[in-house]
Chains A and B, each alone.
Chain A
């Protein structure tokens, strides 16, 4: 039960964290597709996108993944200009507080740690596409509310990103649209697709649904764990159902000798089983809560982590929801009670002297 609720707690926390991340994401992202792959988008499209009614602003984004071979990790590098409008909360905070000058960068905590371990304390050498090195100073480390998204991030000036990734001057990675009225999003998507049929438009909702799919429906790993946990529990139940201990038999025998009917004994056993399993439920819950949120779920947490070493470093935020509690409850308490009824009945329906002997 403890394992079961721990797993559910972790999954829930991750989902919560993702949802929080999602809320800080821009409502619409426009990408260009070529041969089914994500391509750089031309900046000329910006004006036309701005002309669509309802679009508040359109901001080009410059970002990419940089593979750091020494540590075997990917950094996400995002290019920003101080004067740009921020398209997400984190960025907004960042731009208000931090500065990185012309050749500095701000890195997430995970990145900072990796760099330290590789003896890059003041700067980092990026390898450009032509093989030459570009030295970028480490201006600071930032801390975001949701560490899942920002752990592997590096912020630096736009020009630097363009230089490192060798991006053409008139192109961006993708374009982010801000929309004043949420209800107009489907309309705007339709218009964008009409003007640029080769574009892929991603909305917050798309992301949310795909995330939920990952955690609820398609994650075989989660399901496997879940089933293992249930079956372990069933094994214990089976053991319980196969017989009562001598003491319990004696107890029933004495009750019968005192004049209790089978009904009374069954009822007593029923309540007893309920109380036992309910307390087990509560205890398991408390144990799981402290395991997950106080100790940050050692061992178990790694199962849920992604491929990248950098991603694995985040806190599980505290959430509890009713449906998860009820899942655990329904899977444990009733089954335990059912398992207790038959053996108690079998003993209770025997004669008192026979039982006690």
Chain B
């Protein structure tokens, strides 16, 4: 248990989210039950007005969640200075059993809410409001995950013990068979690189073709493969240390906070193509060119940044790690 100002801030905002989201949930259930675009009852009018409120609130939550996620990682990173053994966020996160789930869940929620927003924008544009029901169904599902996240986050900071000794990221992400990623570590560097650049090309290809199913598939796989490649290969070049595989340490000041840029570009690169493809699946229309383009640009930036590290290293030292 540790209440630093950062933790209080995070928890306070979580309480706020909880209140707002619950209010929204009640309204959405009401909307789901009684929504009928064809009637002209006063109930329908009221619902339409309420739907605006809910939409605004969800937008608000999402806009806040983006920087808040970075802030979460940042403050966990700071706590690592106090906990024995932890060198970066990885140690702190793993000091609690479900810490890793919390981070993944947070990321997942970002995608969920982001997708909701895309749905909302489309809904606003269509005259018949055909997405409204789907939109609120979707929110009801997202709500469950949001609450799960809030509960997790509270118990995370509750369970955090400052004087407990935790594993450092060096052991968590090592090739030792006991580490959580032992299976992944059996891949060789060449395999990883082939996989990564293969996926990169496939993703780019899918974005160029604007192929729905292909880009749906490639967005997800590219995200996973990128993270694995970061841990296995690119990370070691950022640290210039062949044994250090941590995906959290490069968020720190020593590496000029490069991790934030890497992760943000990766998020944008996969999110837009994914949501565009998903939208096309739901409704057959082809008006998502812009989304694919955004995705394409960020995919290129992301790949350039992380490929730059090994290249620069090679140019400087004349050898690969």
Contact = CB atoms under 8 A, between A and B. Distances in A.
A83 interface: no
A331 B3 contact: no
A227 B52 CA distance: 34
A223 B60 contact: no
B71 A349 contact: no
A52 B173 CA distance: 35
A260 to B, nearest CB: 12
A330 B71 contact: yes
Contacts of B20: 338
Interface stretch (A70-78, A130-138, A192-200, A211-219): A211-219
Size category of the binding interface on chain B: 20 to 34
Contacts of A262: 49, 52
Interface in B1-50: 2-6, 8-9, 12-13, 16, 20, 49-50
Interface stretch (B73-81, B133-141, B286-294): B73-81
Contacts, number: 74
A interface majority secondary structure: helix
Contacts of A227: 8
Interface in A152-190: none
Given A230-B12, A326-B71, A330-B13, A270 B3 contact: no
B5 A327 contact: yes
A187 to B, nearest CB: 18
A299 interface: no
B53 A213 contact: no
Interface string A1-19: 0000000100000000000
Interface residues of A, number: 29
Given A230-B12, A263-B52, A327-B5, A337 B60 contact: yes
B74 to A, nearest CB: 6
A345 B60 CA distance: 14
A323 B16 contact: no
Nearest to B74: A323
Contacts of B2: 216-217
B9 A345 contact: no
Contacts of A324: 5
Contact of B8 (A230, A267, A326): A230
Contacts of B162: 213, 217
A180 B187 CA distance: 41
Give the residue among B9, B49, B75, B78 with the most A Cβ atoms within 10 A: B9
Interface in B58-109: 60, 64, 67-68, 71, 74-75, 78, 81-82
Interface of A: 8, 209, 212-213, 216-217, 223, 226-227, 230, 262-263, 266-267, 270, 323-324, 326-327, 330-331, 334-335, 337-338, 341-342, 345, 349
Given A8-B5, A270-B60, A323-B74, 16 more contacts: A212-B81, A216-B2, A216-B82, A217-B82, A230-B8, A267-B56, A323-B6, A323-B78, A324-B5, A326-B71, A327-B5, A330-B68, A334-B60, A335-B12, A341-B57, A345-B52
29 contacts: A8-B5, A212-B82, A213-B82, A216-B4, A217-B2, A217-B4, A217-B82, A226-B5, A262-B52, A263-B56, A263-B124, A266-B52, A270-B56, A323-B75, A324-B5, A327-B6, A330-B13, A330-B68, A330-B71, A331-B12, A335-B13, A338-B60, A341-B53, A341-B57, A345-B52, A345-B53, A349-B50, A349-B52, A349-B53
